[in-house]
Amino acid sequence: MKRTQLRDGTKVFCLRAPEAKMLDHHVEGYLNHGITINDGDIVFDVGANIGIFGVRAIQNHPNTVVYCFEPIPDINAVLQKNADSFDGNRLRVMPYGISDKEMTATFSYYPNTPALSTLHPEDWDNDPGAFAKAVKGTMKNPPPGMKWMRMIPTGFSGLIAKHLVKGKKSVDCELKRLSTIIKQEKIDRIDLLKVDCEGAELGVIKSIDQDDWPKIKSLVVEVHDSNGRLDLIKSILKEQGFTSLYVEREAGLEDTQLFNLFATRS
């Protein structure tokens, strides 16, 4: 665990400083196409990693509370450190993954690139070149403060990708249903549900009971579009009354199956 400084001078705890800066760059990308955070909102961040999204939310909105879900113990420890550093009452750490079934499951943890850690490594394994394409796209479209990445020849993207996934570890983590947490925490509304959990997004959507859907005002979901997953999630959201759906790919990820899905009610 170490500390690094984000683009505006904010200091956070992290496992990998470049990854922390990349996570910070992604924050603004979630808040598009009708997705907003207002002061006093209740936010659920499923796949919170080290908590950068939550840190930015409470920095900008003093009365907002963010429930941060992160099941990987090494990552969760950093998330807890950031919560303690900023405000543990408003950054509430939940050491669980979210799924439609409550159980203990084995995750793949990548120490060289913790944000890639996943319950579903098959989303990358089934297309061995996909991660290299994502790395190449990121090298071409680096976040502010990391323009030096453009100086690295993109021909090295394959080698970099292999290094990042080297040393994979298997870690057992606890999974809970989202509706279990809603009941446990006595949640009467979720103004924003952010889901970025590396292939487990359909399980998150299916973990919400019918009675809890009206509590959710808006969603932003990263979707690995495998076996029609994107269309299925869109269909479920339409059935649950989300009338505005927008799908986009991030710059640099055009050659991958990664999409961001934004959903709001009228």
Q: What is the pLDDT of residue 26?
A: 87
- Flag whether pLDDT at 31 surpasses 80: yes
Is residue 22 very low, low, confident or very high in pLDDT (cuts 50, 70, 90)?
A: confident
Q: What is the pLDDT of residue 227?
A: 86
- Flag whether pLDDT at 113 surpasses 60: yes
- Flag whether pLDDT at 156 surpasses 60: no
What's the pLDDT tens digit per position in 223-256? 999 889 999 999 999 999 999 999 998 766 666 7
Q: What is the pLDDT of residue 61?
A: 97
Q: What is the pLDDT of residue 208?
A: 98
> pTM to 2 decimals?
0.88
Mean of all residue pLDDT scores within the chain:
88
Domains annotated for the chain, with CATH where assigned, are 2-264 (3.40.50.150)
3-state secondary structure the chain: CEEEECCCCCEEEECCHHHHHHHHHHHHHHCCCCCCCCCCCEEEEECCCCCHHHHHHHHHCCCCEEEEECCCHHHHHHHHHHHHHHCCCCEEEECCEECCCCEEEEEEECCCCHHHCECCCHHHHCCCCHHHHHHHHHHHCCCCCCHHHHHCCHHHHHHHHHHHHCCCEEEEEEEECHHHHHHHCCCCCECEEEECCCCCHHHHHHCCCHHHHHHECEEEEEEECCCCHHHHHHHHHHHCCCCEEEEECCCCCCCCCEEEEEEECC
What's the pLDDT tens digit per position in 69-97? 999 999 999 999 999 999 999 999 999 99
Q: Which of 25-34, 156-165, 251-260 has the largest mean confidence?
A: 25-34
Q: What is the pLDDT of residue 215?
A: 98
